[in-house]
Amino acid sequence: MAPPELRADSGAPGRRETLGRSRPAHARQRALPRRVRRLLRQPYKRGRGRRRGAEARVPGRPRGLHRARGTDAARLRVLPRGAGGRQRRGGVPASRRAGARAGLIRRRRRTGRFDCASFWQSVGRSFPSPSIPGDPIREERSSMRRMYGVVLVVLIVARAVQAQTTAAGSVRGVATDEHGSVVPGVAVIATSATVPGVFTATTDMLGQYRLGDLPPGDYTVIADLAGFARFLRTPVTVRAGLNVEVNIVMKVGAIGETIEVRVETPLLETRNATQAVNISGELLRGVPLSEQREWYGALNLTPGVTVTDFSGTKMFYVHGADQAANIVQIDGADVSLATNSSVSSINLNIDAVDDMQIKTGGVDASSPLGIGGIVNIATASGTNQLRGAVAFAAQPRRWNGSNNPGGTSSTVDQRQVDVSIGAPVVKDRLWAFGAYRYVDVTTGISRTAAQLATLQALVKDYKPFDSTNEAQFWIAKLTAQPAAAHHVTAFYQRDVNPVSTALATVVNPNKQWMGGAAASLRLSSVWSSHLMTRAGASYNDKRRGIVDIGVKGPFQRVFQSTILSGGRLAGNGQLATLQSPITALVSQPNSKTVFSFDATVFARHGSSTHELQAGVYTQRRVQGNDVTYVNDGFTIEDTVRQSDGALVPFHRQIMETTHLTSFRQRGWDYAAYAQDAWRPSSRLTVSAGVRVDYITARDLVFQVTSQNSTEVGPRFGVNYSLTADARNVVKAHWVRVHDQPGIVAPVGTATVATRDLYDLNLDGTFETVFVTPATLTVTPNQSIDRALHQPSVKEWGAGYSRQLRGGISASADFVRRRFVDRPTLVEINGDYRGNVFVGYKDPGFNEIYIGTNNRWNTPVYNSLELSITKRTSRVQGIASYVKQWRHIDGSWQPNDPASFLVPNAFPNDKGIGSTTGTLSGPTDANSLSGTHMAQGSTGSAQWVDHCVRSGLTYSAPGGIVAAASYTLQSGIWSGPIVSRLAAADPAFGPTLIALPNGRIVTNPLSTIIRFAYPTRGEGQLKTPNLHVLNLRVGRRFELRRLKFDASLDAFNVTNHDADLRFQSGSNQTYNPLFGTTTSRQLPRSAQVMLRTSF
């Protein structure tokens, strides 16, 4: 017997039961979308196989099932049935069909087979083989050989690939009757009030259907077949990138009978083992996450993400990866910068966000290259109904508190306007959507009382200044459905964001901008129930620039004292930066062009099914840095402050030329992937795939090919439902994922010749001069490792998820990652005899670095994640807890001074620095630099032990809205603590060495810096724990179609005062800034928001 919620009323025709209530069918039909009602009420014209509006019967299909033309799209429909269950004119009596079906069901139970053609023949219908999607006889005649042939063709068609990831989800399931037997030929229709177009599918001979590439939204799913009551289920919630199962139970019914099912939408992923979280646009707008209401506030709710702030810019680290390792997509199109792709460099009106999926682990082969988080934003679309919103947010300066006594706080004074609108251009065919944001923000720069007093003492009449930002961001989108099987989307987005800002100890602000334009065109086609394709093209020119502010003079640093090390005088305890806030202006020619194509083939083999995917993709990337040095090449002057307050210069750096192209690179990524989701049973899915990327890069500075590598990334995952209702799921994965192209950037080090002048005795005479030759003339093959290739992460993970009543789901996951083959520079010109440095092999140069992959040490990340989500019509929320462990395996790099001086100090399980690596400078070549792995210098803020994140919004009766968010993030580790000796150890050679050509150079082993503890992990410091509690209370008013929202937000309600990062030099015991922190979190503040929508 069918479960109670699926049983129809056995009484009078035209009534049905829905969750304990019976209402006439016509009454419930009025609640359906207008398009669906029109679709289901079309009159039938007498005659065989003809309808009004030139709608012809599809040959070979059951007489009740037709393809419609002309109105919304081509749809599958069921003819109305007359009295006695008989179809009008030419129909087959339902009683005869039911009897024939009962006989075939008995035969199926005996033989284990169900012959669709025999079924229709037994009711007096021939069933020839048509060439239309979803026809059962065609399903039966299809073969595995043909399906694999299609995949092979797809792989051969294009030259290059990376999979095209979509922001859409899917609904799939099995249609059965009351006795559990599969029902083929059922027409399944999905519509949504917030998504344009109509989506259709037909169950195959196994009763399976698939509604793929569905934009996020709440859908009404209708299933229809002559002889059965109409099945209706609403709402079915589709999320970005999520595959959910909705099974259909068809019941033999009376005239016009509809069975409406209102049960919770499945919330758990049942097809793959990817670790991901979905944040809806509604939750993003409903929870107070940040003062400026950015879209990337959603990452504040994501498990496995660490967040910090650097000079007013938010940085996000996902599962140990650096903040520049993340990928951002809009509707499946890559909009990340070609280099240094910070999440916060992409700006968008949050009303444009419909849903968002953040993949944090176990990504499949169809996902783009990237070892960080993969963020896919599904934007809103226009519909047949005019919709729009206007919002205004204001936060006056006087509404800010202070959490920095005696100093200046990061107060926010802002005005923000959001406008969005969606409308039909051609009804049922073409829709438009646009969103615009204007921001005018003034943000205070956090300075301590001591920093403020120092600046006022150094600069007469100094007045603290703020960071400023005034910008406009917008996106325009078109959506088209030229036919039922084809959907086209295109958008253009622009987000140039100029900012004037500075660090706490800098006297003058610097001006820079980030962003640019992005455009995308994408076609999605469903050719049959077997084959779906996607083709897309995108372009973006997002980049970063630093502009001249008109301040003359060098970048002048003021220190408390000096240290003599390696024959050079170095500053100790930086107090301030005077005159120019920068050493150089920067412009970038960056751009990224992508073409992609992929296909999904659905096949079966016996009782199991396969979902085969293959894709091709090519990316052309241009990136570089054009540098113009300030002050005619006299860029740096270091001074020491005497006891009388006088500033005495001791070091000056002068560039021979004022312009340098530090790197210029043009690269290509040709990639292909193939993967299969094999379902041997309804509960088990085994996914396996491989992704192959052929990556080339041409260094235009050295005019050589800097990279020519083939990267192979295997993927494997298992997803198993412990219960038949898919509410208890276990999953596991193992993957190797390569980093995005562009991380491996320059070849060696391109620099101009410099002169460093030192006044060692502070008498006003710069008697010591070190000349560093330009490295532009270095022989290219001495700076390139021919085997240079992309870094990657080797990852495995496992998890358990359970869906509870009330729209609640809970998960527990564990993930382990090894960051291997990171790019690094290794010094190869040093001449060592045992533990003694004797000079340079090529006396014409000092250090010569070769760009290669780090084979000597590997960061390792482990985390345990617990999360819970809830989504109902009144309540939405998410909460998580993450426990993290990390360490670094391996040994020192070759010629690292630490490998000679402190060989046993390698272990580190606290702050372990960057996991991405770099070729832009010899960061990892000298672990005794005093700043290596130091958080204050590298900004590597992903290493925290504990993290709690939560967000909740509640719509109470009477239009009252309440929301809250809370973050607890334990302190960030400082990196290795270093100290210094009284003098250099002569056992490693003299401090200064004369080369055969007469040049005097410093012995790198003469450094007096040492680790303060036996190992690098011991004794590290932590920043204070971060606590942030935000609250919102508001009210909604409605007037016909207009909705008015007014809310008051309170941020950092407890006025917590945690500093977010260490100052540069704070890991040095000999530095007056040892242990000091900076960048205090924003103080308590309030904001009002008014919003009108229709």
Indicate which CATH number applies to the domain containing 599. 2.40.170.20
Residue 137's pLDDT is what?
36
Residue 837: pLDDT over 90: yes
Based on the fold, state whether residues 640 and 501 are members of the same structural domain: yes
The pLDDT-based confidence of 14 (bands split at 50, 70, 90) is: very low
Residue 607 lies in a domain: yes
Name the residue with higher pLDDT: 566 or 95: 566
Residue 834 lies in a domain: yes
What Å distances lie between residue 732 and 160, 718, 797, CA to CA?
Answer: 30, 5, 6
Cα distance between residue 89 and residue 687, in whole Å:
49
Residue 266's pLDDT is what?
72
**Measuring CA to CA, which residue among 316, 71, 292, 22 is closest to residue 939?**
316
Q: Say if residues 687 and 610 touch (Cβ distance below 8 Å).
A: no
Residue 850's pLDDT is what?
87
Residue 776's pLDDT is what?
63
Q: Cβ-count burial of 83 within 10 angstroms (0-12 exposed, 13-18 middle, 19+ buried)?
A: exposed
Cα distance between residue 241 and residue 661, in whole Å:
41
3-class DSSP assignment, residue 798: strand
What Å distances lie between residue 328 and 373, 940, 949, CA to CA?
Answer: 8, 20, 22
Range of weakest confidence among 524-533, 904-913, 1054-1063: 524-533
Among residues 243, 261, 279, the one where a domain terminates is 261
Residue 110: pLDDT over 70: no
Q: What is 263-290 written as a DSSP string?
A: -PPP-S--S---EEEEEEHHHHHHS---
**Strand-strand pairing, 836-840 and 830-833:** antiparallel
Cite the beta strand spans of 311-373 per DSSP E.
Answer: 313-318, 327-330, 333-334, 353-361
Among residues 206, 232, 261, the one where a domain terminates is 261
Residue 22 lies in a domain: yes
| Single-letter amino acid code for the residue at 573 | G
Residue 156's pLDDT is what?
38
Q: Say if residues 354 and 281 touch (Cβ distance below 8 Å).
A: yes
* CA distance from start to end of the chain: 45
b (16+ CB within 10 A) / e for 244-260: bbbbbbbbbbbbbbbbb
**pLDDT digit string, tens, across residues 455-500:** 999 998 899 999 999 999 999 999 999 988 899 999 999 999 999 9
State how many domains the chain has: 2
Tokens 């196994």 found at = 206
CATH number where 224 lies? 2.60.40.1120
Cα distance between residue 841 and residue 750, in whole Å:
20
**pLDDT digit string, tens, across residues 917-938:** 887 778 888 999 989 998 876 6
Based on the fold, state whether residues 247 and 391 are members of the same structural domain: no
Name the residue with higher pLDDT: 884 or 958: 884
Q: Read off the tokens for 501.
A: 């800002």
Q: Read off the tokens for 407.
A: 């100093």
Residue 195 lies in a domain: yes
Q: Say if residues 348 and 328 touch (Cβ distance below 8 Å).
A: no
Residue 365 lies in a domain: no
Q: Which residues contact 187 (CB under 8 A, 6 or more apart)?
A: 65, 76, 77, 78, 200, 202, 223, 224, 225
Percent of the chain with pLDDT over 70: 82
Cα distance between residue 827 and residue 921, in whole Å:
11
3-class DSSP assignment, residue 458: helix
What mean pLDDT comes out for the span 651-661? 92
Q: Which residues contact 725 (CB under 8 A, 6 or more apart)?
A: none
Range of weakest confidence among 143-157, 181-195, 418-432, 730-744: 143-157
Among residues 226, 261, 296, the one where a domain terminates is 261
Range of weakest confidence among 162-166, 752-756, 1030-1034: 162-166
Q: Say if residues 1035 and 959 touch (Cβ distance below 8 Å).
A: yes
Residue 131's pLDDT is what?
35
Q: Cβ-count burial of 23 within 10 angstroms (0-12 exposed, 13-18 middle, 19+ buried)?
A: middle
Residue 1066: pLDDT over 70: yes
Cite the beta strand spans of 759-856 per DSSP E.
Answer: 768-772, 792-804, 808-820, 823-827, 830-833, 836-840, 849-853
Residue 743's pLDDT is what?
60
Cα distance between residue 219 and residue 855, in whole Å:
51
Tokens 């993930």 found at = 815
What Å distances lie between residue 836 and 900, 906, 972, 991, CA to CA?
Answer: 9, 20, 37, 11
Cα distance between residue 818 and residue 296, in whole Å:
26
Cα distance between residue 529 and residue 210, in whole Å:
7
For residue 73, which phi and psi values (nearest 5 degrees)? Answer: -170, 175
**Measuring CA to CA, which residue among 1009, 887, 1026 is closest to residue 946?**
1026
Based on the fold, state whether residues 240 and 95 are members of the same structural domain: yes
**pLDDT digit string, tens, across residues 322-357:** 988 999 999 999 999 888 778 888 999 999 999 999
What mean pLDDT comes out for the span 730-756? 82
Residue 287 lies in a domain: no
The DSSP element (H or E) to which 451 belongs, if any, is: helix 449-458
Name the residue with higher pLDDT: 391 or 14: 391
Cα distance between residue 581 and residue 557, in whole Å:
10
Residue 292 lies in a domain: no
Range of weakest confidence among 534-538, 581-585, 769-773, 810-814: 769-773
Residue 360 lies in a domain: no
Note down the domain range covering 243. Answer: 4-132+163-261
Based on the fold, state whether residues 255 and 399 are members of the same structural domain: no
Q: Say if residues 183 and 177 touch (Cβ distance below 8 Å).
A: yes
Residue 198: pLDDT over 90: no
Q: Read off the tokens for 796.
A: 């495995």
Average pLDDT taken over every residue of the chain: 83
Based on the fold, state whether residues 797 and 938 are members of the same structural domain: yes
Q: Say if residues 402 and 446 touch (Cβ distance below 8 Å).
A: no
What mean pLDDT comes out for the span 514-538? 92
Based on the fold, state whether residues 758 and 902 are members of the same structural domain: yes
Which ranges in 10-157 belong to alpha helices (H)? 25-29, 34-40, 94-111, 116-122, 136-141, 144-157
**pLDDT digit string, tens, across residues 45-97:** 333 333 333 333 333 343 333 333 333 333 333 334 443 443 443 444 444 44
| Single-letter amino acid code for the residue at 100 | A
